[in-house]
Amino acid sequence: MENEALLEKVRAKAQTWLSNSYDPETRMQVQALLDKEDSSELIDAFYKDLEFGTGGLRGIMGVGSNRMNIYTVGAATQGLSNYLKAEFSDLEQIKVVIGHDCRNNSRKFAEISADIFTANDIKVYLFEDLRPTPEMSYAIRKLGCQSGIILTASHNPKEYNGYKAYWDDGAQMIAPHDKNTIAEVNKIRNVSDINFAGKKELITIIGQEIDEQYINDLTKISLSPEAIAHHHDMKIVYTPIHGTGVKIIPSALKAFGFTNIIHVPEQDVISGDFPTVVSPNPEEPAAMAMAVSKAKEVDADIVLASDPDADRIGSAIKNNDGEWILLNGNQTALLFVYYLITRWKELGKIKGKEYIVKTIVTTELIRTIAEKNGVEVYDVYTGFKWIADIMHKNEGKKNYIGGGEESFGFLCEDFVRDKDSVSACSILAEIAAWAKDQGLTMYQLLQKIYVQYGFSKEKGISVVRKGHEGAEEIEAMMKHFRENPLKELADSKVTLSRDYATLKAYDYIDNETLSLMMPTTSNVLQYFTEDNTKVSIRPSGTEPKIKFYIEVHAKVNGVDELEAADKAATEKIDSIRAELGI
């Protein structure tokens, strides 16, 4: 009966998309879904409305309220317009920036959004062509805008597109602005509520001048220009994986002083079909394979990559046997934090008011490095908007060194408020040059960190469950873990558990309940054990999956102990996976 009721509700909703308010192509596609004997696609397209998650609006492109199309994008833009006009009613001219990535329909969605903003008398700065997400964030602050959007689905497969909304500080929206915008979007019940009649005179096309200012400001964060000068010709292989980094990241590397950037020509091709990869995600070995192959061919020093909207960074380095290995997000973050803090100290920039930010699922080794060097650490939820929130609250009071997350995102500068692969690629290349100055490879530098601060190994596992039934299954899995809390992991007793949905923690040693000081609730469970193992469980806010993060630690006394520590850690992670049933 429940499924019948859902189907009836979905059919009624889909019928409203057959009115003349929708364009003929949309009506035809909706009718085709209604006529299909198998109703699963119809249900997926209409069973809910797209909502803002950790990455904003994101979904598969197609017709329906749960799909990315001109009407869901239109409703989001109209709702945001209404909210901006209410919030900034005292301003003579409200201004927004619009950017987009390489994805199919991204330019179309960007131009339609520009029309809707200007139809509501909001001035638009529209990038002339695809640009990185962090550059859009930069432009909001540089141009004194009240908001900005970028059309992108980040690293998702080609079927997806998305819509990230930003506030006047250049960061993705958080409460109350995200919830208030959603409320305005939800008030739009008919297509007639969306004003598509744009005013071209309110659109200003931007491009090269912002590129130049952005890159110039990025060069100011360089901490080791002398190391770059020594190793300016080191071989850097870079791939944009068909995305927005294609021009600006090589330009940034050159501005930093690097002169030998080697491209992967097949992946310099801008395409929303991502022809050389199944998924344009630098986390995945398959997406990095062509760049690694090029690195072997030219005997490169380092491989750098960015995802389609150039906010995430991927990297590969050579181990001590000369084999290429991919750095995971935690390792990349470790290298950044270690380098930034080390150089800040050497340059006399640590004054006692410095801090770094990490997400709760990112390696705890970052905390160890920071605290042992007198640098404050903030733990925040997944999603770079929470890192930006800390930056906003500390602006003018404390000094931001850097912030990152295990999902391949890092931000080295404080004038952008989202993860930035443009600066990350430039600084990671700088770290490689700096390591060379000390007679170290990047791999040996990572080993040095492990010996000095302790070894850690992290593993992220995603369990994919698509569609309406998948969402219910993920909900049931979280319910199961809440009702059956973990007491032991790989023969080590759980000493602390945290439930961010209730903002309560339980200390098993002192048998007491603690309060978690976070800005809002989040559907995340965490467990810490006697041997410093950490397990985190959370549904993704942007993809149909539930994520498990396993982190184990060991003390090593020298480089010669790292291989055994790594093997033991792998075995422990495998044991925990078996216990969790994943």
Residues 195 and 333 in one domain: no
Residues 66 and 133 in one domain: yes
Residues 110 and 95 in one domain: yes
User: What 3 state SS string does 407-421 have?
Assistant: CCEEECCCCCCCCCH
pLDDT of residue 1: 46
Residue range 254-296, pLDDT digits in tens: 999 999 999 999 999 999 999 999 999 999 999 999 999 999 9
Average pLDDT over residues 142-147: 98
In a domain, 348, yes or no: yes
pLDDT of residue 2: 56
Given pLDDT bands bounded at 50, 70 and 90, which one contains residue 453?
A: very high
Residue 188 backbone dihedrals phi, psi, to 5 degrees: -85, 100
pLDDT of residue 577: 96
Residues 349 and 443 in one domain: yes
Residue range 209-247, pLDDT digits in tens: 999 999 999 999 999 999 999 999 999 999 999 999 999
CATH code for the domain of 503: 3.30.310
Number of structural domains in the chain: 4
pLDDT of residue 185: 86
Residues 340 and 237 in one domain: yes
Average pLDDT over residues 147-171: 95
Residues 302 and 377 in one domain: yes
In a domain, 215, yes or no: no
Burial class for 226, CB neighbours closer than 10 Å (0-12, 13-18, 19+):
exposed
Chain centre to alpha carbon of residue 570: 26
Residue range 409-436, pLDDT digits in tens: 999 999 999 999 999 999 999 999 999 9
pLDDT > 90: percent of the chain = 92
In a domain, 214, yes or no: no
pLDDT of residue 62: 97
Residue range 45-90, pLDDT digits in tens: 999 888 765 456 889 999 999 999 999 999 999 999 999 999 999 9
Residue range 164-218, pLDDT digits in tens: 999 999 999 998 998 888 889 889 988 999 999 999 999 999 999 999 999 999 9
Residue range 297-347, pLDDT digits in tens: 999 999 999 999 999 999 999 999 999 999 999 999 999 999 999 999 999
In a domain, 191, yes or no: yes
Which residues are annotated as catalytic?
A: 154
Please tell me the distance from the alpha carbon of residue 411 to that of residue 245, in angstroms, as a whole number. Answer: 16
Output the pTM of the full model.
Answer: 0.94
The residues pairing with 550 across neighbouring beta strands, listed in sequence order, are 459, 535
Please tell me the distance from the alpha carbon of residue 351 to that of residue 344, in angstroms, as a whole number. Answer: 10
In a domain, 212, yes or no: no
In a domain, 524, yes or no: yes
Average pLDDT over residues 14-30: 95
Mean of per-residue pLDDT scores for the chain: 96
Continuous segment of H or E residues that includes residue 96: strand 95-100
In a domain, 433, yes or no: yes
pLDDT of residue 50: 81
Residues 68 and 177 in one domain: yes
Residues 432 and 463 in one domain: no
pLDDT of residue 3: 79
Residues in Cβ contact with 278 at an 8 Å cutoff, skipping those fewer than 6 apart: 157, 286, 287
- Residue-range definition of the domain harbouring residue 21: 1-47
Closest CA to 110 of 206, 39, 8: 206
Residues 77 and 136 in one domain: yes
DSSP string, 169-210: TSSB--TTHHHHHHHHHHT--SGGGS-----GGGEEEE-HHH
CATH code for the domain of 149: 3.40.120.10
Decide: 353 and 429 in contact? Cβ < 8 Å: no
Average pLDDT over residues 447-458: 98
Residues 481 and 388 in one domain: no
Residues 501 and 361 in one domain: no
pLDDT > 70: percent of the chain = 99
Residues 538 and 438 in one domain: no
In a domain, 417, yes or no: yes
